[in-house]
Chain A
Amino acid sequence: MASDGDKGKSSLPNNNAKASAIREDGAFWSIFAYLISGLLFWGGMGALADHFLNTSFLILIGLLIGLSAGLGLIWMRFIRQ
């Protein structure tokens, strides 16, 4: 998604500010999607592991891993550049 940011060279010069504002609208939803998928995937893995190993703490670890993975991806895609 970050690639959306830097490729749009508009033929109209004064369009760039507007374009980046519009992309920021969309960035919010991309960030949301990363968080959700991180939590869902790793939380789901944790829940599955819990189910088969008869434990109850792995879902928490899974959710934490998912959260950090999502936040990490957001940082790399949107902030680092």
Chain B
Amino acid sequence: MSAMLNRSGAGFAPPSSADFDFKPIFGNSIFTTKPVFLCFLSVILIATFFILSARKAAIVPSRLQFAGESVYGFVRGTLGEAVIGPEFMRFVPFLFSLFTFVLTNNLFGIVPFLQFPTMSRIGFPISITLCVYVCYHWIAIRKHGFIKYMKDVCFMPGIPAPVYIILTPVEFATYFVTRPLTLAMRLFANMFAGHLLLLIFTLGGEYLLKSGALIKIFSLFSFTFAIGLSFFEFGIQCLQAYIFTLLTALYIAGAVADEH
């Protein structure tokens, strides 16, 4: 493909991280860019959907109510009760908000005209990860007390004392650095890479369409690929929302567990 592009003369400008920078829609503030509006839109959409689905709650559910209850039931059963255990009910609202928020913002990546996954700007994953981070440490500290929690995290029972010199820093780094880091990075990187992939095939298709007569045919393949990858992206977006919430539930489960 690159050889073909070179032959056609004018350079193809591949999508880059610059495609993720948006100019403010109005004013001159970083708070009026497209991702911020998408984030607000997601909140409005989620709220509208669940208020509508729960407003006329009936024993024989309407289709909308059924859809809303399925999502809630999934988070409550699979991510709440099965992972956290008996105390799960306290955390269901948090998990549910996280799951729907991440899922909606991810799905914006393949919604026509919106076409940008909010989570591919690193600031959004970082801020929700901060909520999770504060949440699971706070739960654990309130349950066990600060000193006992630190002892539980850093000193695993049943190993000889000198080995602690090697293991304790690693345990500490895992709980306080690597966990939040991987949580945010995984979501960000998946959304970033997915959006870039879609950009490559659509922009490439567009470029091929503008090229010479014979090459035009190949743009068809490029666009077909872009559509196929959109379905693939749909899977990734749902999976990432699930993984993010699952890991949050696991961290909370670790925090409410009686001992480490």
Residues of A within 8 A of B178 (CB): 33-34, 36-37, 40
B56 at interface (Cβ–Cβ under 8 A)? no
Cα A10 to Cα B178 with chains together (Å): 30
A8 touches B246 (CB 8 A): no
Q: Report the interface size for chain B: residues with CB under 8 A from the other chain.
A: 37
A22 touches B257 (CB 8 A): no
Cα A68 to Cα B259 with chains together (Å): 25
State the A residues within 8 Å of B (CB).
1-4, 7-12, 15, 18-19, 22-23, 25-26, 29-30, 32-34, 36-38, 40-42, 65-66, 68-70, 72-73, 76-77
Query: Most chain-B Cβ atoms within 10 A of its Cβ — which of A8, A10, A73?
Result: A8
Residues of A within 8 A of B247 (CB): 26, 29
B interface, over-half SS: helix
Sampled A-B contacts (6; CB under 8 Å):
A4-B83, A7-B253, A10-B82, A30-B250, A70-B170, A73-B174
A41 touches B169 (CB 8 A): yes
A73 touches B83 (CB 8 A): no
A37 touches B84 (CB 8 A): no
B173 touches A37 (CB 8 A): yes
B220 at interface (Cβ–Cβ under 8 A)? no
Whole-angstrom distance from the CB of A20 to the nearest CB of chain B?
9
Whole-angstrom distance from the CB of B174 to the nearest CB of chain A?
4
Which 9 A-B pairs give the minimum distances between C-beta atoms? A8-B85, A3-B257, A19-B82, A37-B173, A37-B178, A26-B250, A37-B174, A33-B178, A4-B253
